[in-house]
Structures are given as C-alpha cells and as structure tokens.
Amino acid sequence: MSELIMPFGIGFVIGIVLFVVLERLGYIDKWLGLESAPPRHKQVHS
C-alpha cells in the first residue's frame, strides 16, 4: 500500500513546493499574464 502512495505523495509535495516557490518569485503571474492578474508582486512606476 505504501509503495503505491509514496511516488504520488513525493510528486505531489514537490509540485506544491515548486508552485509556491515560483509563485513567490512572481513567475506564475507572468505565465498567467500580468494584464489579467492583479499587481501583487510588483509596484507600477510608470
């Protein structure tokens, strides 16, 4: 049973960690489009 859960569990944890790290760095907003996403990470100086 643990043999079936472990690969999924490790992959799931790695996916969550990568998503959180990329989100903190602002990559997720760039991929989704800065125009449609609220400016949380960057301040607009224009």
Confidence at 42, pLDDT banded by 50, 70, 90? low
**Which tens digits make up the pLDDT trace of 21-41?**
888 888 767 777 765 555 565
Give the pLDDT of residue 31: 72
- Mean pLDDT, to the nearest integer, of 2-23? 80
CA 27-33-37 angle, to 5 degrees, is 95
Give the pLDDT of residue 36: 58
Give the pLDDT of residue 25: 83
- Mean pLDDT, to the nearest integer, of 40-44? 59
Task: Let me know: does 19 contact 28? Beta carbons within 8 Å.
Answer: yes
Please give the Cα distance from 3 to 43 (Å, whole number).
47
The one-letter code for the residue type at 24 is: R
Task: Let me know: does 15 contact 9? Beta carbons within 8 Å.
Answer: no
